[in-house]
Amino acid sequence: MQEVREGVDALDRELVALLAKRFGFMRAAARIKPERGTVRDEARKAAVIAAAVAEAETQGIPGPVVADMWERLVEGSIAYELVEWDQLRA
């Protein structure tokens, strides 16, 4: 069990590092987007979540769980990008 826990802990660190990279892209998007209203793109949000669910199902993990996680991830990313957008133009 200890090895499993160590593996999970190591993977969690990798996931956080990947999230940091993802949020770096959100910072870049905040710099690029000319208008605050373009930060929220519902069509893009739906496509990102659908792609994650499809990949999850390909990998044999539950799509509904991934859909819930990606909903929070994308909403958190939008909120972060809005803050960044505002700060860049303050």
- Pair 49, 71: CB distance under 8 Å: yes
Burial of 63 (0-12, 13-18, 19+ CB in 10 A): middle
- Quote the pTM value: 0.93
Tens digits of pLDDT across the chain (90 residues): 999 999 999 999 999 999 999 999 999 999 999 999 999 999 999 999 999 999 999 999 999 999 999 999 999 999 999 999 999 999
Residue 40 CB contacts under 8 Å (≥ 6 apart), including other chains: 78, 82
- Report pLDDT for 12: 98
- Report pLDDT for 77: 98
- Pair 88, 31: CB distance under 8 Å: yes
Walk me through the domains of the chain, giving residue ranges and CATH numbers. 2-88 (1.20.59.10)
